[in-house]
Structure 1
Amino acid sequence: MNLDLSSSPEIWAPILMLGAAVALLFPSLLSFLRSRRDLESVERRLERRGPAIANTEQRRNQSRIGKAVAGMADQMAPGDDEQGVSAAKARLASAGFTSKSAVGRYYFARLVCIVLPQLGLLAALPYLAHLPGNTPLIISVMLVMIGLIAPGMYLDKRAKARRQECSAGFPDMMDLLVACVEAGLSLDASVQRVGEELELRHPIIAGFMRSLSLELRAGRARKTAWRGFADRMGIEEAGSLATMLRQAEEMGTSLGQTLRVFSADMRQRRILYAEEKAMALPAKLTLPLVFFVFPVLLGVLTLPAVVMFKEIL
């Protein structure tokens, strides 16, 4: 099958977009290669000093491809002083990506989602010659839009799933926290203990509790640490707990009694939420019944009469 490139200029769109992506990637690639060369030079100098760094050889034995991808991602990420990095970090943290290279990997994934479909479209151009002239251009634009939107949609879906899991396990956390406080432990020690107990059943909440415990042990103010805990978890119950603990600390009320009342309220809220879902089920089943069950019943009831009228007429 012959492909006349001069007669269909629209098929150059994937080639031009791929060239633009490569041009954008080229400075990052040069910076990455330069940084890798400097890093290897530093590692060689450290090896000459002896066992100053025990795990240097272990780092050198890691996968070359993995190190290259990680370094490329770090070079592609914008600097900390650029606008939007904090929002990207917060979005990635809500989805569970809290490593230092998370932002770089995110931008690298976005570039991959744009470049790889264009390469696939470029390879498939000979098989699209029978389509109208502007079809490859339309497909290329759609692939670029999907590549830009898909990583963000994945992060939003993952963050929503984590919030739902945290909301489902929050009453269990409150019960354990009440039990620890009423057993005589301080609030800070109770946080550490609850984080250890929830490690298997609710690992996401356990990770948040572990971070909160580290902040409290580092000397951060309790109300600030709990507010940060609520912001990281991203659910309404955590914000209410942080506000309640701040008010209890300022007014000097009994912490155990306050936590018990709050825990009972969380349990009641879970019951009400389950009842709400159950009561909304009949309304949600109305449309499926109308569109799928009612036509069948109508056919079964009217078909004998139709047959009888046909025989009579």
Structure 2
Amino acid sequence: MSMSFLSGPVVPAALFVLAMLIAIPGVVSFLRNRKADEDVSRRLTRRNPDAIDQPQRGGSLIGRAVMGLADNAAPTEGEEVNAVRGKLNLAGFTQKNAVSRYFAARFICVVIPQIALFFSLPYFAGLPKYAPVGASILLVLIGLAAPGMFLDAQIKKRRQAASLGFPDMMDLMVACVEAGLSLDASVQRVGEELELRHPIISGHMRTLSLELRAGRARKTAWRAFADRLALEEAGSLATMLRQAEEMGTSLGQTLRVFSADMRQRRILYAEEKAMALPAKLTLPLIFFVFPVLLGVLTLPAVVMLGRTLPSTG
């Protein structure tokens, strides 16, 4: 009787109730923040009566409620939040509410499949007893891992695009500095020139230019630029510029040497990929090409042998 009790719809129903209980703190926080926003809006309306007839923008009531729930239900402090914010920045999601949207996406990826599984329990009638429980656990694991995997894919994609455009950025930097522009003006100019070809680097260059114009120290701004790009080449560039500034060496010559080194590293990286290609093709050749080639070579002999043996027998 206990086995039939576990194999029935009780366990998925319990998981569904547990997911709803987990959502209660987020709903309470959302309602509390909504009430506070309404109080603030009411006070502002009393001071500015003309704002009564102004409609709220940002979509329908349901859309605003969902987005508000996503913004208010996620944590805002802690080491985990800081780590998530760093990954989101590397993935290109730099909005203020990106962290809350990420936790909301994780919550949705866990809860929605459980609800779908709950309504699809009649289709598990002919399957083993623990199939609903196993499917529920599998869906939970997939829902927890899917947002992180998506972020990792985005980070890898952006890093490859930035690494591809970094030598072009260095060539433009050398051209601007040797043409007589200062380093800060060169950063702004290069950011404008790379806007269409390499938009990721262009965005980081514009941020760097704004930081330099705001008065941030040059070595600190370049180090932050390297951290945002998360490239080894950017870190080397920030270190080189700091050393050039401290030692008083020629900036144009230093950038030219570094740019040539970047081009050489790209050539070496391409050669490394080309030399690793035969080793990577060994298994496909063995499992796919060699059997076909063997069949093509031996099939005529097999056919001739099949025709000869019956006639001799």
Q: Which of 27, 30, 47 lines up with 2:28 in the alignment?
A: 30
Partner residue of 2:146 out of 132, 146, 150: 150
Equivalent residues in 2 for 1:172-251, closer than 5 Å: 172-251=168-247
Tell me, yes or no, if structure 1 residue 67 matches structure 2 residue 71. no
- Select 2:265's aligned residue among 269, 274, 278: 269
Rate the CA distance shift 1:51–1:184 in 2: closer, same or farther, 3 A. farther
Label 1:143 to 1:222 Cα distance change in 2 as closer, same or farther (>3 A): same
Q: Does 1:292 align with 2:284?
A: no
The letter of the residue matching 1:91 is K
Could you list the per-position Cα deviations for residues 226-258 of structure 1 after superposition, in whole angstroms to 9, with x for gaps in the alignment?
111101100111011001001101110000110
- Relative to structure 1, the CA distance from residue 57 to residue 197 in structure 2 (aligned partners, 3 Å threshold; closer, same or farther) is farther
8 Å CA contact 2:25, 2:73 repeated in 1:
no
- State the AA in 2 paired with 1:289: L
Pairing 1:7–2:21 present: no
Give the share of equivalent positions with the same residue, in percent.
Answer: 66
Listed as ranges, the matches of 1:292-311 within 5 Å are 292-310=288-306, 311=308
Q: Which amino acid aligns with 2:73?
A: M
The Cα shift of 1:105 comes to 0.6
AA aligned to 1:244 is M
Q: Is the 8 A contact 2:58 2:64 kept in 1?
A: no
Task: Give, as a single letter, the amino acid of the residue that structure 2 aligns with 1:44.
Answer: R
1:205 CA drift (Å): 0.7
Q: How does 1:57-136 map to 2 (within 5 A)?
A: 57=54, 59-60=56-57, 62-80=59-77, 82-136=78-132
Quote the Cα distance in structure 1 between the aligned partners of 2:154 and 2:249.
38
Contact 1:166 1:233 in 2 (8 A): yes
CA 1:213 to 1:5, structure 2 compared with 1: closer, same or farther past 3 Å? farther
Q: Deviations over 1:158-197 (max 9, x none)?
A: 0000000000000111111111111211111111111111
- 1:253 aligned counterpart, secondary structure: coil
Give how far 1:284 is off.
2.1
Q: What is the DSSP-based 3-state SS (H/G/I as helix, E as strand, rest coil) of the residue aligned with 2:129?
A: coil
Instruction: Assess, with a 3 A threshold, how the Cα gap between structure 1 residues 299 and 6 changes in structure 2: closer, same or farther.
Output: closer
| Cα distance, 1:200–1:86 mapped onto 2, change above 3 Å | same
Task: Kindly state the Cα deviation for residue 8 of structure 1 after the two structures are TM-superposed.
Answer: 4.2
Check conservation: 1:70, 1:101, Cα contact below 8 A: no
8 Å contact kept, 1:248–1:255: yes
- Structure 2 gaps of 5+ residues are none
C-alpha separation in 2, matches of 1:152 and 1:12: 31
2: CA distance, partners of 1:129 / 1:5: 17
- The Cα shift of 1:297 comes to 1.6
Structure 1 residues 53, 249: closer, same or farther in 2, change over 3 A? farther
SS of the residue aligned with 1:7? Answer: helix
Structure 1 counterpart SS, 2:166: helix
2:167 paired residue number: 171
Aligned length: 308
Could you tell me how far apart the structure 1 residues matched to 2:223 and 2:282 are? 43
Contact 2:29 2:73 in 1 (8 A): no
Aligned equivalents of 2:97, 2:193: Cα separation in 1: 30
**Any idea what the Cα deviations from partners look like across 1:244-293, whole Å, max 9, x if unmatched?**
00110111000011011111111121122222222322332222222112
